[in-house]
Each structure stands twice: as C-alpha cells, then as structure tokens.
Chains A and B, each alone.
Chain A
Amino acid sequence: MNEARVIAPEELIPSVPETIFLFRSCTGSMEYPGTENAIKEVLDKLGINIVMDPDQTCCSGYLLTCSAHKPELSLAVTARNLAIVEQKNLDTYMFCNGCYGYNRELAHILKHNPAYMQMANDIIAKQGYHYEGKTGIFHVQELWYRLKKELVARAVVPLNGLKVGVHYGCHYLAQQYQILDDGGYPTFQEELLAAFGAEPVFYKERQACCGYSVGRGFTHKESVVQPHLFKKFKSAKEAGVDLMTTTCPGCNVGLDREQPNLAKRYGEEFDIPVIDLSQLLGLALGVPLNKLGFEANTVPLDKVIEKLGLKKGE
C-alpha cells in the first residue's frame, strides 16, 4: 500500500466539465430507466451537457465474472467502448458500479500490460477503432460530491428528517486507488445527503454486499444470499432507515427486487424502498416525480414521498 488511496474531489475532477460522456448501463436502462433520466435532469439544472453514443455496447463485465466468457472478449469490448469516448475527447462517467468497476479494472489491465493492449487494439482495429488509454473513468456520484455546493444551492425540497441508509456497493469501494473515499469506511455520500438536510443512518451492515450476483445472477443460490440480505435489512430496519440509496442499478435490483422473497422466507416485511442516489438528488432539486421513474420499483416509495410532502403527479 504505497500509493495514497483516497483523493480529494478537487484533485479527482480538477475542473467541472462542460460536457461528459455518460456510459449507458444495460441493467440501468432496462430495470430502472429513471436513474439515467434523473442524472440527465439534474445535470441539466447544473448546465452540464451529456453525450451518449448508440454505438456503445454493454461493458461485458458481468458475464465475465460468471465465467461465461474469457477476459479477451471483455478487454476488447472495453478498448472499443473507451475508444469511442476518446474520439470525442471526453471523460467517461458511469452510473453503474459494474460498468465502473469492470471498465476501471480492465482499462488498468490494458494500460499496464502492453501485450493485452496490443491484443485488444489488433482486434478492434478491424472495426476501425484505436484505444490509447486517455479517457478518464469516473462514477457519476463523484461528480455529485464535487458539485455538492452547487447542488445544495439548487435544492427546493428539503430532505429534513429523512433517514437514509446508504449502500455504496462493492465494485465502487473495491477500486482501491483514486476513489473519493476510504473503501474500508466511506462516508462521502452521507456527507452529501446531510447537506440536503437528510439524516444519514450508519446501519451496521451498511457495507454488506447487495447479493445481486449470487441471488439473482450467478449461482442462483437463495440459500446463500437470503440469510445474507436478511442480516443487512434487519440492521437497516433496526436503525430506522426510511429509504436506502444505491449508486448501481445492479445493487438496486438485488436490494429492491429481493425484498418480497425475504418476506416469504422469513415472514418479516422490511418495506424499505431502494432508489438511486441520483433519483434522490432529483427529488431534492424538484425534478417532477414522473421524470424519475419510480414505477419500476418493487418496494413502493409512497411513504417517502409523503414524508417529503410531495404529491404523485407533481
């Protein structure tokens, strides 16, 4: 551990970009399309432009972790997608910890192994691309924290008294270098939410994994993942969490969609809605509810909306 792990937001993102490349997330755009829309709405309020590109594909990381394809494919896909961003001279912002983690990890491997870089570039050259390793890879939440003051200045719905339990997600925290916070005990999202008047709750199992890959994806092992999630939700409930936030649509699936199954197995309803941090910022900044897509959520948000004094249809 000879490199500093934590980086200050002003150092990570020295000048606030005028335009960012927003990396489409498969899970995000299909399971919770409101997340991408919330990001667009909030950035619009801040005057930051978004570029997306229909030529971008899936990051291909998830199926790699399922051993369903070999690293060569994911390295080539990463090089191709990032080459598209590089052509535009922009930095890449992800809103899925999967996209973020896999792109960072695979780009790191490419940049530190000339042979892999060569291999990937030889393959994508057939499609007319070349990856240099220039584009920066960031998570949208890093931009939120960098713009804390600007965001708070535009808040119109105070989050006063809302007890929010943050879920950071493993694949953000596991990117050990040059992330905003200590992967072992992060607090920056709590700081951000407190600035909006919310009451962040440090529940005991805050850093426990969402279980998505085991429960819904990889080994379909309910017997492993449900006891794990039960522990997590139990500790959140006991700490009085009203709302859980994620920064990854995959985590959101794991935590939101799995609650009815937990209720079936354990006979205990947790009833804790789970939304993306960007959607909560959208609420605070007065983005209309119908632009935030909460109808895609399994656990309804009614109580939270009522607590914030918002009406459906607003």
Chain B
Amino acid sequence: MMPREKYKDKAENLYKQVDAYNLVENLETCLACGKCVGNCPVASLNPSYNPRQIISDVMSGEARRWLDSEEIWRCFWCAGCYTVCPNDIHFPLLMMQIRYMAVENNWGLKYIMPFKRFALRAREDGLTFAPSEKGREKIKRYRRNLGVSEWPEISAKAQAEYKELFDLTGTTEFLEKLSDEAERPVRFKYLEGRIVGE
C-alpha cells in the first residue's frame, strides 16, 4: 500500500525562499504534465527521482523532504526537462538553488566538497579542471605535436582578474568555509516512486 502523506514541516512560501535569485519565477505555471519526467535521463533509470514531484513538493511547502534527500544530488543538469517543458520552467535553475539551500543546512556537503579543490585551483589557473603538473605533461605533448602553444594561451592578467572576481563576489570566502565536518546524512525520500515512510 502507498504510504499516506503525513504532516511534515510545511514551509509557507518555500518556493520564494528557494528561488532566492528570482531565476525561475514561473513555477506556479507547472501543468504537472510530466513531460520533464519523460525526458529526464535520471528518472528513466531511477524511479525515485522525479522533477515533477520535486516541483509539486516545493510548491506545497514540503521543505525538508528534498533538502535532506539523496535525490537532488542525482540531477545531471542536462536541462532535458527544460527543453520539453511546455511552460519553459527552468527546472535546472531551481535544482541549483535547492542544492544551495541543502548545503546551507549541511546536507549533501559530501557532493560538493570534491569541487572545493577544483574551484580553488580554477581560481588560480583561470581555467577549470587543469590537472596537476604531472598530468600537464600529456596535454603539453599533444599540443606540441599539433604545433600549437604548449599550454592554452591565458594571460597572467586574465588569471589575476579571474582570481579577483572570486574575492569580489564572496566566492573565495564561500569556498574556504566549506567543510564536511558538519555533514548531515541524506537518504532517499522516494523508492520506486513511492514515498519512504518517515
């Protein structure tokens, strides 16, 4: 039998709290048509992941359910949902903000911690995912063999200014504060499309 919904801490205006950057705005136009689910690669492999359900829960103020869920960390950010949505609901931008909210509450830190190092590295390089010195050898060899400069042509000015933008936007501080010590465990909220009893 499907477990019945019980009262959970409903957050009034959760949607506005989540969409703090005002990037989605039209969530209330969701038709619950499910096209997003049909075009979602994660949903096709994993029935507990369901963008339509996430929208419906966010709209009805079911705050906790998604913030401490495993599901929100499965989205590929491919925007397949947005591509087919008849009302152009930008679900990935909602997901991005749900994740920020989760992280502020110390859920899912383990998923973004690996990127702390990459982001701090990118801050120096002006390039994302540049490998360490050893890994650079292969890149340099391939580039040499092509007859182009050994390293992508990025100026010292670009690197310094990129780094400065991290500082000016508070991103350096955000990154330095990230730590998984406060990590709170996440778990699946739905399994096989069913609500897991709480």
Q: Which residues of A come within 8 Å of B, CB atoms?
A: 1, 24, 26-27, 29-31, 33-34, 36-37, 52, 54-58, 60, 62-73, 76-77, 80, 101, 109, 113, 123-124, 126-127, 170-171, 173-174, 176, 183-184, 207-209, 211, 213-214, 218-221, 224, 227-228, 290-291, 293, 295-296
Contacts and interface: CB of A to CB of B under 8 A. Distances in A.
Given A71-B21, A176-B82, A127 B100 contact: no
Given A73-B169, A183-B83, A228-B45, A295 B145 contact: yes
Contact of B76 (A72, A209, A220): A209
A221 B76 CA distance: 10
B170 A52 contact: no
B79 A27 contact: no
Interface in B73-104: 73-74, 76-80, 82-84, 86-88, 92, 96, 99-100, 103
21 contacts: A1-B87, A26-B127, A26-B130, A37-B148, A54-B154, A56-B154, A57-B159, A63-B115, A65-B96, A67-B100, A67-B103, A67-B111, A68-B112, A68-B175, A69-B171, A70-B100, A70-B174, A72-B170, A176-B83, A207-B80, A224-B45
B116 interface: yes
B152 interface: yes
B72 to A, nearest CB: 10
A287 to B, nearest CB: 11
B173 to A, nearest CB: 10
A76 B88 CA distance: 25
Interface in B4-28: 21-23
A55 B157 contact: yes
Contacts of A71: 21, 23, 96
Interface stretch (B54-62, B118-126, B189-197): B118-126
Contact of A219 (B87, B111, B131, B169): B111
Interface string B152-176: 1111011101101110111100110
Contacts of A127: 161, 164
Contact of B152 (A30, A69, A76): A30
B105 interface: no
Contacts of B83: 170, 173-174, 176, 183-184
Closest 3 CB pairs of A and B: A174-B79, A68-B115, A170-B78
A72 B74 contact: no
Given A1-B86, A64-B96, A69-B175, A57 B142 contact: no
A134 to B, nearest CB: 21
B45 to A, nearest CB: 6
Contact of A54 (B125, B155, B162, B174): B155
A77 B158 CA distance: 11
A34 B131 CA distance: 18
B79 A52 contact: no
A68 B118 contact: yes
Interface in B51-71: none
B66 to A, nearest CB: 14
Contacts of B155: 54-55
Contacts of B82: 174, 176
Contact of B78 (A30, A55, A174, A184): A174
Nearest to A220: B114
A27 B122 CA distance: 12
B73 A219 contact: yes
Given A37-B148, A68-B116, A174-B80, 14 more contacts: A1-B88, A29-B152, A30-B130, A54-B158, A68-B175, A70-B174, A72-B170, A73-B165, A174-B79, A183-B83, A219-B74, A220-B114, A224-B45, A290-B146
A69 B73 CA distance: 16
B87 to A, nearest CB: 8
B127 A55 contact: no
A131 to B, nearest CB: 13
Contacts of A63: 115, 118-119, 122, 128
